[in-house]
Every structure is written in C-alpha cells, then in structure tokens.
Amino acid sequence: MTRFITGYGVCSALGVGRETFLAAMKNPTLLEHRTLPAAQAFTSEDARVAEVPDFDPAKYLGDKGLRTLDRLTKLVLVAARLAAHDAGIKKDNAYVVHAGERVGILCSNAYGSLEAITELNRVAKLEDARYINPAKFPNTVANSASGYVSIWEDFKALNVAISDGNCGALDAFTMAEVHLSQDRADALLVGGGEAMSEALCLAFQKLGVLETKAVLGEGAAFVVVEKVARGNVLAHVLGSGSAFSAPESDLQVTHGSADALSRAIASALAEANVDKGEIDLVVSGASGLRVFDRIEIAAIQSTLHEDVAIAAPKMLFGETLGAGGAMAAASALAYLEGAPPTPIVSGTSRPLKTMLLTAMGYYGNASAVVLRAP
C-alpha cells in the first residue's frame, strides 16, 4: 500500500529546519573535514561529537514551559513542530487540515534521556534520593519526549514510543503502515530523536566507537506520512521490512547481521512490489564504524547487486542512533530535491527515482524501507 510523505522537520548537526538541512546537504562537507565546535551538552575539551549547533528551542517553541525539559525532549518537540508545519497540517500552530484526534506520532529513541537519568542519579548519590526534582523526574521515562510532543502539538491519535536501537525509526514506518491501514489516524509523524549527553559520549568512548571514523551525533527528525495523498507530496512510502538474526556465540551481545539485513531488504522490496534492479540508491546506515559498515554494505550488495549506489549520509551529521532512520529519510528527501548523495561509499550513482533506506542494529536486528519519488 502506498503512503504519502507530505513534509518533514529536522534538527541535526547541519542545523535546524528543512531549508537549513537542504542547503547543507546541497553543499556537503564530511565531518572528518570539519572542525567541530566544543560540546555544548556537557563540558569536554576533547569529545569529537556532532551536536545541533547553537540549538535554541525557544525560537521555535516560545519561552514558556521549557525550563524543566531535557535536551532530548526539546529536540523532538522542535522537529515535530517543524514537520507538522512543513506538511501544512498546521499553520501558526493551529490545525489547517485534519483534527488532533486523527494525528499521531511514532517516535524512536535508543537510549532514553541519559542526561536526565544521570542528573537525578547524581543528586540521589551525592545528596539523597529525597532531593531529586520531581519536575524533572518525568524526563527519565522512556516515552516522555514523545508524550510531550502530543501535549505541545495536540496530537490525540496514537502516540507510540519505540526503542529498537538504530533500527527504531525505520521500524516506525512499518508500524505506521499497520496503524494507517487500520484507520487509526490520517497523518502520522514518523521518526525519532537522540540527544547528546556526557553519559552517551562516555559510553561510546568506553566501547571504542569514537576511536573509529564514526562521529557521535544527535538530532531529531520526523517525516509526515499520510494515508491519502494531500498537499505537496514529497515521496511515496512503498514498503518496509525488519528482521533479526542471533550471533553464533551464546555469549556475544553486539553483532551486525548480514542475514537479518538481507531478509529485511527482501521483505521491504516484496511489500513494495519493487524489483531489486529498480533501486537507484541505498541510503545506508553506514557511519564509519568499520565492522558494522562492512557487513551492511556487503549485505546490500549481495541482496541487490554489486554496483548499486550506496550513500552514507551519517558521514555528514554523525551517528544519531534512534533518530538514524529518520535522518536517512530526511536525507532521501533532500536527494529528491537536488542534493547530491554524499558520500557514495560504493557503486555508481544514477538518476533517482526509487530509494532503499537501511539500518543495522548493534544486536542483530536490521530494517529497510522503500521510498519513491512522486
């Protein structure tokens, strides 16, 4: 079943908003060639992270009600508001089409608000648990950011939080199709967010990720997926797939699975009724993390064909984890608006009509989505 993307909103290391994102994508600079500013989300002199630059949520949300919200919530709120307006569902924060009861959100996030959890754990450990700020406690709950979007934007249809690692935002497309086909909403914001924090950076440093070419990013992105074509359709969603494969060793936890990605791609193509030869570009999840990138690219090539063009847009804005699939969707939309797919890590580019988005989780899960130009 074809669904319709009518708008999107983005907060990323490339800036805030569709126009800013598009301009940066049209004039791409690899992160490895950029001088990254010092981290804002925490104090660090040497953390090489790609944050949303000069992030000022009040510019988009107003001054009121932001004081107790964490960075994750603010990123997600801004991206969602921009998406709803870009799609023409809202103007000046009032509904133009649809009713709040018919608009919902599917929001992926991989690790929760580590900023909020760490802050309150710090209070509990250094002072006492009885001193934790009750106004900030809700930020520690995994569906908090998504819940706040409904409150701020008056989205009263379903609100679904997803924690599926790097695959969550692409899995949100699968879930969106299920819910739209059941007439649970007319429009769904599909995407996710991940916020930079000292804890996240420390964890990735400990795991050795930041010693690779991968740059830890942050951001939030949502595309508006509608049941029926309306307004300015940016792309069609044709199909999606998701699969899992366990590692051979019973003790292993992290692993990338070529088998799972291959099956996810096959499912997405079958649902989309698209032949593998029709895929003009794969918008991959490759991030510079060599072991996973190698598996992902090999799986794509073996499932499609050796010469298929594979883009790695994370090299421009960093690894955004739970938001990754949504950033891939935003990248694909930018390509359809004339941005050159950059960098192409494998294969030969050709004119774009049909694209495959892929994501590979750290635990053996993988997902894929097929998009086509309108």
User: Phi and psi at residue 354, in whole multiples of 5°?
Assistant: -120, 130
- The secondary element (H helix, E strand) that includes residue 329 is helix 324-336
Most distant CA pair in the chain, distance: 61
Residue 160 lies near other proteins (rule: CB under 8 A): yes
Q: Considering only residues 245, 331, 354, 358, which one is a binding residue for other proteins as defined by CB under 8 A?
A: 245
Among 14, 83, 260, 356, binds other proteins (CB under 8 A): 260
Residue placing its CB nearer to other proteins in the complex, 21 or 155: 155
* Least distance to other proteins, CB of residue 373, Å: 25
Residue 155 engages other proteins in binding (rule: CB under 8 A): yes
CA 163-67-105 angle, 5° bins: 35
Q: Containing H/E element for 251?
A: none
Phi and psi torsions of 114, nearest 5° = -65, -30
Site string for other proteins, 205-224 (x = CB under 8 A): -xx-----------------
Element (H, E) at 222: strand 219-226
- Name the 3-class secondary structure at 159: strand
254 is a site residue for other proteins (CB under 8 A): yes
- One symbol per residue from 84 to 123: x for binding other proteins (CB under 8 A), - otherwise; what is it? ----------------xx--x-----xxx-x--xx-xxx-
> Is the torsion defined by CA of 337, 165, 303, 2 positive or negative?
negative
Does the footprint of other proteins cover residue 171 (CB under 8 A)? yes
**Binding segment (CB under 8 A) for other proteins, from list 80-88, 163-171, 285-293, 351-359:** 163-171
Does 158 participate in binding other proteins (rule CB under 8 A)? Answer: yes
Per-position x/- string for 172-211, each x denoting binding to other proteins as judged by CB under 8 A, each - no binding: --xx--xx-xxxx--------------x--xx--xx----
Site for other proteins in 333-372 (CB under 8 A): 361, 363-365
DSSP notation for 265-326: HHHHHHHHT--GGG--EEE----S-HHHHHHHHHHHHHHS-TT--EE-THHHH-B-GGGHHH
| x/- track of binding to other proteins for residues 125-154 (CB under 8 A) | xx-xxx-xxx--xx-xxxxx-xxx-xx-xx
